[in-house]
Amino acid sequence: MTDHKLAFETDLRGLDIDDWLQALEDLVEEHGSFVPLGEQHVAAFLDAGPKLLVTFENAAEVMNLSDAAPRGFAFARNEGWSHLAIISKGESWFREERIYRHFDRLIDDGFFEDFEDVLFFGAQSGGYAAAAYAVAAPGARVLALRPQATLDPAVTGWDMRFVKNRGQNFTSRYGYAPDMIDAVERAYLVFSPQQRLDAMHAALFTKPNATMLRVTGLGGRLDVMFDTLGVLDDLIYGAMDGTLNHAKFGALMQKRKRSGPYLKNLLKRLLDSGHDRLAVMMCRAVLARGPNGYIAKQLQDMGEPLPAAAQQDAETA
């Protein structure tokens, strides 16, 4: 079996954006290609094996990752996946004529036909782009976290979060994301029903090849929370090979029950909705699994005694 793993080291931390882009270009050109797409976007390609991960990422968010490298770099090193990263310098929703033309050239060159499996991945505005540009690779898969369907005010005028970005053209090519997934094998859309506007966007993806994966209690930045839980890579693996389904997603999401932010959000929702007894039961269940100072304090604030084990933990702390 051919080993397609790329051997390279990344040291992109602590740079300003111009130096970061230059270092990224120097690294990528040793293993693929680097193409500026106007002033606000670049395309970085690592040429490795027959699986291709296409990501849409914001430079500022990438630079805040632990290695300050695009998402696919680790997969290129560890799995031998090829990786195409479309990177924006700001929140652009990737609505740029030069990006359209770049994907046109890739289609004309038969670029995507060279790969056995292709996955388009992104979160938030990158999730929108992952779905919108997947039309370029029929038979590909999509993993989109909290994707918007469009910012066209004629369709989603109810979403006032991104008003300053509505001036971009969402009605031209690669525009309305729900229509752009027609030819993909499967589009996995991950969102929280508690984020009402996110759920309304997700509801516009009505194609039969769209799989809705709902998760509660993790707040808005699902990519950050999934990274914290250590499940994002597993989601990408499952989406790449087409094995991701509701059962596998549910099993991965069980890890959130040990996540501090999840537990805090859940407790707050129970208290805000008047379910005090359920809140007490939840606190006791959490403390039965092990020490948790925050949950212990909340239980005491509700006038409830600590379980014996939690009391002992507090005395020995």
Residue 279: predicted pLDDT: 81
Tell me the pLDDT band of 297, cut-offs 50, 70 and 90.
Answer: confident
Instruction: Give the pLDDT band (50/70/90) at residue 317.
Output: very low
- The mean pLDDT of the chain is 91
Q: For residue range 25-75, list pLDDT tens digits in order.
A: 999 999 999 999 999 999 999 999 999 999 999 999 999 888 899 999 999
Fold of the 17-257 domain: Rossmann fold (3.40.50)
The predicted-structure confidence for 12-24, as pLDDT tens digits, reads as follows 999 999 999 999 9
Edge-first strand order for the sheet with 117-123 is 32-37, 41-46, 82-88, 51-58, 117-123, 141-145, 186-191, 210-214
Strands 82-88 and 41-46, by their bridges, are: antiparallel
- Report, as an integer, the average pLDDT of 202-224: 89
| Sequence ranges of the chain with CATH classification 3.40.50 | 17-257
